[in-house]
Amino acid sequence: MTVIIGAFAGILCTVSFLPQVIKIYKTKRVQDISLLTFSVFTTGVFLWFVYGLLIGDIPVIITNALIFFLALIIVVMKIRYSEQKGTGSVH
């Protein structure tokens, strides 16, 4: 039962970022996205990924690798689309 709950939690946490990635990609609107928040979050997820590697926990590794990838896409789009708008601000 714990494996099922863990797998379900990992799936939900991972797919929760897909709507945001898709919305930003389609609209190119990033002004309401906090670069600081997503940068700190992305760093934390990367550290969870490293932790998973260190303890050899495959579900932790896979879940956090996928979340890291999606969160990093949001950070990159935030920077890119903020610069394209010419706002000069990526905060």
Q: Which residues contact 39 (CB under 8 A, 6 or more apart)?
A: 75
* Helix, strand and coil in the chain, % to nearest 5: 80, 0, 20
Torsion angle, CA of 63/31/35/18, rounded to 10 degrees?
A: 0
pLDDT digits 0-9 by tens, 33-56? 999 999 999 999 999 999 999 999
pTM of the shown model: 0.83
Q: How far apart are CA 50 and CA 85, in angstroms?
A: 35
More confident residue, 77 or 84: 77
Give yes or no for a contact between 67 and 17, defined as CB atoms under 8 angstroms apart: yes
- Please give the domain boundaries of the chain with CATH numbers for all domains: 2-85 (1.20.1280.290)
Tokens encoding 3 = 């494996």
Q: State the pLDDT at residue 89.
A: 56
Whether residue 87 is predicted with pLDDT greater than 60 in this model: the reply is no
